Copies of this chain bind each other. A is one copy, B any other.
Amino acid sequence: MQLGLIGLGRMGGNMRERLRAAGHEVVGFDHNADKSDVANLAELAEKLASPRVVWTMVPAGKITEDTINQLAEVLEAGDIIIDGGNSKFTDDGPRAERLKAKGIHYLDVGVSGGVWGITNGYALMVGGEAEQVQHCKPIFEALKPAGEFGFAHAGTHGAGHYAKMIHNGIEYGMMQAYGEGYEILLASELVHDVPAVIKSWREGSVVKSWLLDLLDRALDDDPTLANLKGYVEDTGEGRWTVDEAVRLGVPAHVLAASIFTRFESRQDDSPAMKAVAALRQQFGGHAVKR
Number of residues in A with C-beta < 8 Å to the partner? 138
Contacts of A186 in B (CB 8 A): 271
Contacts A211-B279, A249-B266, A270-B230 known; A181 to B169 CB distance under 8 Å?
A: yes
Contacts A159-B192, A177-B177, A181-B170 known; A273 to B261 CB distance under 8 Å?
A: yes
Give complex CA distance A258, B187 in Å: 20
Contacts A192-B156, A206-B167 known; A176 to B274 CB distance under 8 Å?
A: no
Q: Is A112 an interface residue (CB 8 A)?
A: yes
Give complex CA distance A124, B202 in Å: 11
CB proximity of A232 to chain B, nearest CB, Å: 5
Give complex CA distance A202, B167 in Å: 11
Contacts of A22 in B (CB 8 A): none
Residues of A at the B interface (CB closer than 8 Å) are: 10, 89, 112-117, 120-125, 127, 144-145, 147, 149-159, 162-163, 166-188, 190-193, 196-197, 199-212, 214-215, 217-219, 222, 225, 227-233, 239, 241-267, 269-290
What are 29 A-B contacts defined by CB distance under 8 Å?
A: A115-B283, A121-B203, A123-B200, A147-B203, A152-B196, A154-B200, A156-B190, A162-B185, A163-B200, A175-B276, A178-B279, A179-B270, A180-B254, A181-B255, A183-B252, A183-B272, A187-B248, A209-B212, A215-B278, A229-B274, A230-B270, A231-B288, A233-B280, A233-B287, A251-B272, A253-B260, A254-B257, A261-B273, A262-B273
